[in-house]
Amino acid sequence: MGMAVGGRSGVKADINVTPLVDVVLVLLIIFMVVTPLAQQDKDVTLPTAQGEPREKPEPLVFSLTADKALYVGKEAFPDAARFQERVQQELRAQPDRKLLLKADETLTCGDVLGVLQQSRDAGALKVSLGVSMRKN
């Protein structure tokens, strides 16, 4: 048996790093095997296109103020018929143009849904709602 005679006795303070090295090597092997599998598509050489890149048009912004006045840009539209005519005109000129509705936060959902229904009647099927982000 190993008894300490006349010297210090107690717990050995050296760290055994062998299990740590084993774990690190296993993780390294796992990452080496998994990394090539993470690429889901094949590498191909894409052809080059000629011409100018297509620019996306700016969205048509229409606003609904707190007093329920409807604006397209800075132009006011007091009745639904003129508003729908303007939306149809814009969609005929640029069918892929996005529409953005900015409504005052004091309005009810019914007010906003009324404008969305008017734009849908004009042929706009996708309308985005504008919001502002606040930090808590």
Token couple for 101: 């509705």
| Mean pLDDT across 33-46 | 73
* The amino acid at 93: A
- The model's pTM is 0.56
pLDDT tens digits along 82-113: 989 998 998 898 888 888 889 888 888 898 89
Residues 15, 12: Cα–Cα separation, whole Å: 9
pLDDT tens digits along 42-76: 667 767 877 777 777 788 888 888 888 888 888 88
* The amino acid at 90: E
For position 132, what pLDDT does the model report?
78
* The amino acid at 106: T
Name the nearest CA neighbour of 60 among 88, 26, 20, 101.
101
For position 43, what pLDDT does the model report?
67
Residues 131, 50: Cα–Cα separation, whole Å: 38
Helix axes 80-93, 109-121, angle to 10 degrees: 50
Please check whether residue 101 is in contact with residue 62, taking contact to mean a CB–CB distance below 8 angstroms.
yes
Decide if pLDDT at 78 tops 80.
Answer: yes
DSSP 8-state class, residue 105? T
